[in-house]
Amino acid sequence: YGDHRDLHLSIRRQRQMCIRDSLWTWLAKDYLAGDNLDGAERALERALVYDRESVEAKNLLNTTRERRQNLTK
């Protein structure tokens, strides 16, 4: 029984992390659509706390930082 339940707990934790990551990424996209770069950057950093390997969050964070740099030029 122990192994079977451990597997389900592990899968559930992984699914919850993916949901949290996608929610933070979705929020960041919403901020970007409104040109709220600070909010987008905070949301994406939070997404990467939950999933350091999220390619989408990393790409969006790079885009956000590039947009910020272009505004300061």
Alpha carbon distance 47, 28 (integer Å): 9
The DSSP element (H or E) to which 62 belongs, if any, is helix 55-72
Local confidence pLDDT in tens for the 73 residues of the chain: 455 566 667 777 777 666 666 788 888 989 989 999 999 999 999 888 877 888 888 999 999 999 989 988 7
The DSSP element (H or E) to which 14 belongs, if any, is helix 2-33
Is this prediction's pTM over 0.85? no
